Amino acid sequence: MSTTKDDIKITFLGTGTSIGVPIIACKCKVCTSANSKDKRLRASVMIETQGKTLIIDCGPDFRAQMLREDVNDIDSIILTHEHRDHIAGLDDVRAFNYMQKKKIPVYAENNVIEAIKNEFPYIFNKTGYKGAPLISINEIDVNTFSIYGVEIIPIRAMHHDLPVLGFRIGDFVYITDANFIADKEIEKMKGAKVIVINALRFKPHFSHFSVNEAIKIINKLSPEKAYLTHLSHFIGLHNETTKNLPYGIELAYDGLVLRI
């Protein structure tokens, strides 16, 4: 398709839950599936728009994801929350520091920044540890902000009792690790063409939306297309589950590319 500077390309770097799929030592039909769509790294997406490459979440599979997608440069990392499956890959930013000779800006709420300082103290060591990744920290909150001219609208959600952020960029909305979104925040999602929302499994969960809960939110908003992400092996086989979802809703999978 032809593109303009405002078009958005979305690549799903990972669509799995915190321990990924397959799960270590699990022999269920999903974890032993030969279908590549049933193999899910930790949840993350890459957004390419206006000549910039933005990464949402940087989990422990970040290095493998960058290699798989042959990513040669990134312009920033945006973090939804502080859990390790969303921040543990920050050390691998070093490769971009070395190859591109630049710091990588990281955007996060204050509590997430504090978690990064605790998890990666050597990044902030005042003696200047030479092996540390070079990042610049940028604090965000629920207010709209921009990165190199790309406008980003944060969407407050709750991950059990932990406040997290989803994001809207143009006509694309991405929500992961949530089980509650207030009506005023759902308003921010209205009119988006593509909505991605987490759906851990069919059975209710204390900190993640179930499939049916995610579908209820999607039906409120009626986007052109919706995708479910942050999926556990309980979601079932990709092909079987997808064909049984309502029209316009699909399971996302690692490597899926969308253009808006």
Query: By the 8 A CB rule, do 234 and 202 touch?
Result: yes
Domain ranges of the chain: 8-252
CA–CA separation, 89 and 74 (whole Å): 14
Class for the domain spanning 8-252 = alpha beta
Query: By the 8 A CB rule, do 13 and 41 touch?
Result: yes
CA–CA separation, 161 and 79 (whole Å): 18
pLDDT tens digits along 208-256: 999 999 999 999 999 999 999 999 999 999 999 999 999 999 999 999 9
Residue 128's pLDDT is: 72
Residue 2's pLDDT is: 38
| CA angle (246 as vertex; 210, 6 as ends), nearest 5 | 90
Query: By the 8 A CB rule, do 62 and 92 touch?
Result: yes
Backbone angles phi, psi at 255, to 5 degrees: 95, -10
Percent of the chain with pLDDT over 90: 95
Residue 234's nearest CA partner among 205, 200, 198 is 200
List Cβ neighbours of 126 (8 Å cut-off, separation of 6 or more): none
Does pLDDT of 168 surpass 80? Answer: yes
